[in-house]
Amino acid sequence: MSALSLFVLPWIALATPTAAPTCDQAAHVTVQAPGGYDAVRVVTAPGAPGAEVVVAVAGGGRWASFAARAGGPSTLRTTPAPGGELVIAIEPSLEASATACVERIELILGGEVVARVAP
């Protein structure tokens, strides 16, 4: 049995993926926006036609979510949301034919970027 283990372990080590995560993997990030926000801007890389990603921002008793299409900025304007610790979730869209790659997400208050995430 130990001979089998010696054979399997090197094979497992060689099969371990070393590539970076792909755009279709979900991510959750915590950010601080003490003054709150009134818009969420998602900038995506060029991608396949119909590709999109779902971005959600939660915190301070509020939750906002929207789908951003590949190939540029998408902005969701909201009523002013309370600040503090916020969780930003990036998830593949189950309704799209492909997943858009997020380049950055910005929380905006009064036209100024108050928090930026680059996954």
Distance between CA atoms of 7 and 89, rounded to whole angstroms? 41
Intervals of the chain under pLDDT 70: 1-22, 24
Domain residue ranges in the chain: 2-117
Residue 26: predicted pLDDT:
86
pTM for the model stands at 0.78
Tokens encoding 8: 């399997």
* CATH class of the structural domain 2-117: mainly beta
Residue 22: predicted pLDDT:
60
Residue 17: predicted pLDDT:
39
**Residue 111 carries which side chain, given as an amino acid letter?**
G
Residue 75: predicted pLDDT:
96
Distance between CA atoms of 18 and 65, rounded to whole angstroms? 32
Distance between CA atoms of 83 and 85, rounded to whole angstroms? 7
* DSSP sequence for 65-99: EEEEESSEEEEEEEEEE--EEEEEEEEE-SSSSSB
